[in-house]
Structures are given as structure tokens and as C-alpha cells.
Amino acid sequence: MAVIKANSADVRLLARLMRAEAEGEGEQGMMMVGNVGVNRILGNCLDFRDIRNMDQMVFQSPGGFEATQKGYFYQRARDADIRLAQRVINGERVWPASNALWFFRPAGDCPATWYDQQNTGRFKSHCFFTPTFENCPSVF
């Protein structure tokens, strides 16, 4: 059962985002991007207050995803990408992005915190950061 409301256009939009942000990091990396996106919709906290649907989440500016802000959000969603997006929408979570609201690619090691959010781990080149339960209980 879906953890967020999403129609077929929403699933394709999330799939495009996942591909644009993490295609080079394989299925697991793409799932993590999807987790962050779904968490931003679920959260309604911190930088993501009033982000209530897929379109608002994908195109949030400022504070959104690099793919949509820096011009590499142009490829269509493939069938495999759509299946991954549907898994995320259905609630499948992948650590370290399970409860994360942010990720980024540092030049070196992952910092312990980023804007007061705890590092939950690294996958390949990206570090993931999770809010506290007190600040954002809806992502837990």
C-alpha cells in the first residue's frame, strides 16, 4: 500500500528524478533518492513544510534537487526506473536513506552533521542526513 498519494504521472516523475540524481549509483542508489523524496512529502517539517505532493517535492526551489535546478533532469523514466519508484512509493526503505531528508556528494569524508542534521551513512559517493524524531516525526 502506498505511503503517499501518487498517480501514474507522479510515479513517472519520481522515477525521472531518481534516474537523474543517481543513475550512476545503481538501483540501490536510485532507491535512496526516492526515499529522500518520499520523506520530504511525508515530513511536512523543516525545509519541507507544505511540500504535499510529488510536483512540489521534485521542483522545490530553493532547497530542492540539483537535477531540476542545474539542467540534468531531461531523460524519460524507463520501465525499470518506474518499478523502482513504485517500490519507494509503496514504502520500501533503503538504509542509510530510510529516514533521510538530505543527501549530498562531498569532496572528502561525510561530515558528522550537516545543517544540524545527523549523518546516517554513506552510499558510494553520497552522504545521507536525517532529522531528529523531535524535529520531524513523520519521517520515522
Residue 121 to residue 96: CA distance in whole angstroms: 5
Per-residue pLDDT band at 66 (split at 50, 70, 90)? very high
DSSP, res 123: E
**Mean pLDDT on 45-72:** 94
**Mean pLDDT on 74-99:** 97
Residue 72 to residue 74: CA distance in whole angstroms: 6
Give the CB-side neighbour count of residue 116, counting CA atoms within 13 A: 6
**Mean pLDDT on 55-70:** 93
- Residue that the C-alpha cell 519521517 belongs to: 139
pTM of the entire predicted model: 0.97
pLDDT in tens, 4-21: 999 999 999 999 999 999
71, pLDDT greater than 90:
no
Any residues with CB less than 8 A from the CB of 56 and at least 6 apart, and which? 41, 50
Per-residue pLDDT band at 101 (split at 50, 70, 90)? very high
pLDDT averaged over every residue in the chain = 96
